Amino acid sequence: SNGFLVKYSNNSVRPFSIILGWISNVRAGSFTSQGNHIKSSTRLVAFNTDQADLITDLSSSLSFSLSDLITDLDFSPFDDNLLATCSADETVKLWRVCEPEQEQPGGAEVTLCPGEGRLELVAFHPTSSGLLAVGSTKTAQLWDTRRQQSPLAALEPHGDQLQSLSWKQDGSLLASSCKVSQSYNIQSNSVSSCVSLQSAQGLQSNKDSRILWVKDSDHILTTGFDQMRGREVRLWDSRKMGSSLGSANLGTSNGTLMPLFDPDSGLLTVSGMVRCSLLSPLTDSMKAAVSHCLTEAPTRGVAMVPKLALDVLSCEVMRVLQLTDSFIVPINYHVPRKEFHADLYPDTLGRTAAMSAAEWWKGLKSPCSPPPPSLSLPLSPSPSLPPSPPPPSPSLPLLLPFSLSPSLPLLPLSPSPPPPSPSLPPSPPPSLSLSLPPSLPPSLPPSLPPSLPPSLSSSSLSLPLPPSPPPPSPSLSSYLSLPLPPSPPPPPSLSPPPPPPSLSPSLPPPPPSPSLSSSSSLSLSSSSSSLSLSLPPSSSSLSLPLPPSPPSPGPSSKFRHLQGAVLHRDTHFTNLKGLNLTTPGECDGFCTNRHRVAVPLATAGGQIAIFELSQAGKLADTGLPTIQNSVNVADFSWDPFNSHRLVVAGDDAKIRVWQVPEGGLTETLTEPETILQGHTEKIYSVKFHPLASGLLASSSYDQTVRLWNLESGDEVKALRGHQDQIFGMAWSPDGKLLATVCKDGKLRIYDPRKSAEPVQEGAGPEGHRGARVVWVCDGKYLMVSGFDSRSERTLYLHSVESLSSGAIASAPTDVSPSTLIPFYDPDTSVVILTGKGDTRVYIFEIVPEAPYFLECASFNSSEPHKGLAFLPKTECVVQEVEVARGLRLSKTSIEPVAFRVPRVRKEFFQDDVYPDTAVWWESSLTASAWLAGSDGKHQSISLKPKDMTPVSEAPKEVQVRKYLPSSHYLEEKTDEQKKDELLSAMIGKLGNMEDNPLPQESFQGVEDDEILGFPASLPPISSYHPLIL
């Protein structure tokens, strides 16, 4: 039975995460590959992005640039600094990652070219050095890194896309899963056999699957989807694959289940990609789950930290790294124990390869050597001897925690010694060299050296001051060679050292040297029963780094608390009936200017209703005058320089220009002012030029963009180069360039006056549902709102100067079928986005530097809206600090919405929020002048009212002291003095009794006998008779 279920109950292993250990500023993107997208060694963490680069060290911005997208990666189990990657360019590369302070290599040490199409998977052999399994589209190959010309073998082809590979722990068998109804294969690899031994038909689904071996047994575990899209985990016997031994259903979701298995504890961690959860069941007989962890952000990938990097003194049995869009989150699993328990840590796999790739290929079978006792049970010289309890004083863990602070995410932890060199003797196997990381545990006292348990199995603990120069990075050839026989261990030192006189902060120590006398290493040996702390004779102080500072919260937007509020009902248009809810995706739904709003109706003939903003209220039930287009409306827009001109694009490939009379419609219009003809297919969208009056751009199903001069009614330009549907287009702020986003996955920039072909072209969104494009940051960047490969709505930022290099940043939002329609305010650099049928409005501030997207508070409505259009900046109420005012179209009403910045001193003009705004509603040149080569520029005006003072010139507020000055407390009187003063004040107010007697004291009272007895003339009481009423 498993001890975690029987001994420690269901809450024995629990996830634990501290935000101080998160790695921030991570730009993980949307992946289309089959790997887990993140891997960890005992020293480094590597993850891939959606661009052609690989990040391995965030503290020193260490990244490797490749020619194409990285699809999978893996660290060598015998060398923490050796990383293998495969990419879509059909190559496998081995990288030697140096220490952060050393110069990184300019290229890969080894490059393999399998030549079988796009590569998806790469996995190191668990027992042999230099042996790789590489998975391509439909087959897997075995490569010896010393033989770069050809592979050792090409395994039996699969029927469809290869989705997962897993080596057995002894390296004798390789398991794989395939997309064809998720079939599973067990292959044996030797000189005489490279064929499939067993195969099984898995779950009836073509979605992603994963496979891995369970311990060193004959059982394998698979994850995938069933016919009802339910996620399942199944256990199989590799000797009889006819049916599974058991299964567990984990609910329905789109996220791929990524399993991680710890052979020492038997714990299985199953994480769902995108789904914010992480489940830890036990694999033995498919037992119930031990714990269930709900994470804070969607999962992009997971990796398990090697066993040698765990903090055994806190009884940490597993650590999982979760890759999210912006962070790498460590999730720690601890067994609640007060001291070290040896039964939690059986002997684990060592760091020395059992054989070479060539020897393994010849048929040798030798398991990977177990580690020395000091590695398997760090606190005990032998598995049979229980460790002594640590003293109550603070202690330094033998295996320092795997630090994941944002400032230094990749720290030397418990590295294995570098491969032996012919000139240097290897270190003895019973010892381990550990480098102190730049951050110590918070419990370590800053002024005293850490005390260590006297019963720890080690010979000496050396922390000298003089740093040694960093050792040269070992070459790949030394890694591939087999290790030399170990030398005998040094004699133990049993004398305890005197405590150091002081501690002073210094720079972090350099990485460990291969020799035993490394000046910055922690040497541990199992040849003695005591531990001593020794310092060099010449050193008088022990230098330790300062504890890490808290992570920086990062940049924040001054609009992060932007508030959206629906204005008073008196400004609403209500009783709206017959609204057209099926406008094309390229149409914004409705449009407005400062005087009137145009709304499409569902009645026949492509009718559009016009409402004057000055006449808000309840609309009449019938008899509304409209504009009749005689065909279905595809898109429509107001002329920014003429509030009476409305252009409407129809399904008949014609553009109709309408003139709305002053005061609004009084009768139905049936004849347009002008009809523009030139397109041969249905029109997608229309956009007016931002500077030139009467210049219009239109996109159509004929895959062209045409420019029109409304004054003459002629077509003046035709832009070509699109290969599919045009989702959206936008003019640059200076009116020189036109950007388009297309369904073919391309983003194009045109200079219409110079060429009909695009001047720049780059990759756009991967999704094919729809997209929008808008120029931001003074025309230096393009922001694209689209969908990623998983149909998640995402914002992308592209640099105009290097459009071909792809997006420089992305910001995912949510999953919804409607495209986010952006409105960009150039004065505040705030973009407001929402989709048709949404109830949430997203708000971001875009900055021209990382992280580029600063998310602000969103606005939520009670019911779905059909569109959101915005009014000119002059319609905002400056006194209420409004930065944008829009109209929200619902099914039965039109409501004005004001977006305000909360400020305290509203009586002053907020000049930091309101710079001079462009008068974009006035043209600067004509269409003919622009076509002739002239350029214009908008004038600017200030929004400051005459009776308001800018907040930058406002007098500073006087700081009110919270406490009285000290002189007040020094002169405070005693209780007796206060009592005397109170009595004196009362006497002074009431007056002296002797000087001013009371008036009643002068009156003469009655005699005493009249008070004490009755008068003689009165009869006795008994002679009175009662009066009955």
Q: Write the pLDDT tens digit of every residue in 742-757.
A: 999 999 999 999 999 9
- Cβ atoms of 405 and 440 within 8 Å: the answer is no
3-state helix, strand, coil in the chain (%, to 5): 10, 35, 55
- Cβ atoms of 587 and 818 within 8 Å: the answer is no
Distance CA 217, CA 284 (A): 11
Q: Which residue has the higher pLDDT, 382 or 728?
A: 728
Question: For residue 84, what are its two tokens?
Answer: 């293998």
Question: Cα 53–55–58 angle (5° rounding)?
Answer: 145
- pLDDT digit string (tens) for 217-263? 788 888 888 767 778 888 888 888 777 788 887 777 777 888 888 88
In this predicted structure, what is the pLDDT of residue 775?
96
Distance CA 828, CA 819 (A): 23
Average pLDDT over residues 706-714: 92
Q: Token match 């369904």: residue?
A: 743
Q: Which amino acid is at 858?
A: S
In-domain check, residue 295: yes
Q: Which residue has the higher pLDDT, 770 or 534?
A: 770
Q: Which has the minimum average pLDDT: 346-360, 690-704, 783-797?
A: 346-360
pLDDT of 801 higher than 50:
yes
- Cβ atoms of 867 and 588 within 8 Å: the answer is yes
Closest CA to 141 of 168, 160, 123: 123
In this predicted structure, what is the pLDDT of residue 916?
93
Q: Which amino acid is at 290?
A: V
Distance CA 31, CA 766 (A): 11
Q: Which has the minimum average pLDDT: 130-139, 160-169, 422-431?
A: 422-431
Closest CA to 85 of 127, 43, 38: 38
pLDDT of 447 higher than 60:
no
In-domain check, residue 318: yes
Question: For residue 895, what are its two tokens?
Answer: 């409501």
Distance CA 218, CA 197 (A): 13
In this predicted structure, what is the pLDDT of residue 291?
63
Q: What is the DSSP string of 157-174?
A: PPSS-EEEEEE-TTSSEE
- Cβ atoms of 743 and 819 within 8 Å: the answer is no
Q: Which has the minimum average pLDDT: 252-256, 473-477, 615-619, 806-810?
A: 473-477
Q: Which has the minimum average pLDDT: 12-16, 286-290, 378-382?
A: 378-382
In this predicted structure, what is the pLDDT of residue 910?
92
In this predicted structure, what is the pLDDT of residue 1011?
62
pTM of the model: 0.52
pLDDT of 189 higher than 90:
no
Question: For residue 237, what are its two tokens?
Answer: 């016997």
DSSP state of 418: P
Q: Token match 């400056």: residue?
A: 878
Distance CA 95, CA 105 (A): 8
Distance CA 431, CA 388 (A): 20
Measured between its terminal Cα atoms, the distance across the chain in Å is: 101
Distance CA 722, CA 482 (A): 57
User: Phi then psi for 361, rounded to 5 degrees?
Assistant: -70, -25
In this predicted structure, what is the pLDDT of residue 875?
92
Q: Which has the minimum average pLDDT: 158-167, 486-495, 517-526?
A: 517-526
In-domain check, residue 866: no
Band (950; pLDDT cuts 50, 70, 90): very high
The gap from C-alpha 701 to its chain's centroid, in whole angstroms, comes to 37
In this predicted structure, what is the pLDDT of residue 974?
81
Average pLDDT over residues 846-869: 92
Contacts of the segment 624-629: beta carbons below 8 A, 24+ positions apart = 625/665, 625/666, 625/667, 625/668, 625/669, 626/601, 626/665, 626/668, 626/669, 627/598, 627/658, 627/660, 627/665, 627/668, 627/669, 628/668, 628/669, 628/670, 629/605, 629/656, 629/672
Phi-psi region of 3 (alpha: psi -120 to 50; beta: other; left: phi over 0): alpha
- Cβ atoms of 808 and 852 within 8 Å: the answer is yes
Average pLDDT over residues 713-732: 93
Q: Which residue has the higher pLDDT, 799 or 402?
A: 799
Average pLDDT over residues 886-902: 94
Q: Which residues contact 402 (CB under 8 A, 6 or more apart)?
A: 42, 305, 309, 310, 311, 319, 330, 411, 413
Could you tell me the CA-to-CA distances from 340 to 11, 223, 320, 530 in Å, in that order? Answer: 18, 34, 21, 17
Q: Which residue has the higher pLDDT, 356 or 520?
A: 356
The gap from C-alpha 651 to its chain's centroid, in whole angstroms, comes to 42
Q: Which residue has the higher pLDDT, 995 or 918?
A: 918
Q: What Rg, from alpha-carbon coordinates, does the chain have? A: 39
In-domain check, residue 12: yes
> Cβ of 246: how many Cβ atoms within 10 Å?
12
Question: For residue 967, what are its two tokens?
Answer: 């002189």
Q: Is 8 exposed, middle or buried (0-12, 13-18, 19+ CB in 10 A)?
A: middle
In this predicted structure, what is the pLDDT of residue 484?
38
Element (H, E) at 697: strand 695-700
- Cβ atoms of 519 and 435 within 8 Å: the answer is no
- Cβ atoms of 605 and 650 within 8 Å: the answer is no
> Cβ of 488: how many Cβ atoms within 10 Å?
8
pLDDT of 770 higher than 70:
yes
pLDDT of 1016 higher than 80:
no
Q: Token match 């040849």: residue?
A: 527
Question: For residue 303, what are its two tokens?
Answer: 């990796």
Element (H, E) at 200: strand 196-201
DSSP state of 376: H
**Omega before 851 cis (within 30°)?**
yes
In-domain check, residue 279: yes
Average pLDDT over residues 349-358: 85
Question: For residue 563, what are its two tokens?
Answer: 């508030």
- The sign of the torsion formed by the CA atoms of 800, 803, 806, 811 equals positive
In this predicted structure, what is the pLDDT of residue 996?
67
Whole-number average pLDDT of the chain: 75
pLDDT of 152 higher than 80:
yes
In-domain check, residue 3: yes
State the SS3 of 535-594. Answer: CCCCCCCEECCCCCCCCCCCCCCCCCCCEEEECCHHHCEECCCCECCCCCCCCCCCEECC
- Cβ atoms of 452 and 514 within 8 Å: the answer is no
Could you tell me which residues are beta bridge partners of residue 612?
Answer: 596
- Cβ atoms of 866 and 590 within 8 Å: the answer is yes
Number of domains in the chain: 1
In-domain check, residue 310: yes
Could you tell me which residues are beta bridge partners of residue 393?
Answer: none
Q: Which amino acid is at 391?
A: P
In-domain check, residue 280: yes
DSSP state of 44: -
Distance CA 377, CA 318 (A): 16
Of 26-30, 195-199, 352-356, 634-638, give the range with the top mean pLDDT: 634-638
Q: Which residues contact 302 (CB under 8 A, 6 or more apart)?
A: 36, 38, 258, 260, 269, 271, 278, 320, 321, 322, 323
Helix count and strand count (H, E) for the chain: 8, 71
pLDDT of 684 higher than 70:
yes
What domain range is 9 assigned to?
1-24+262-343
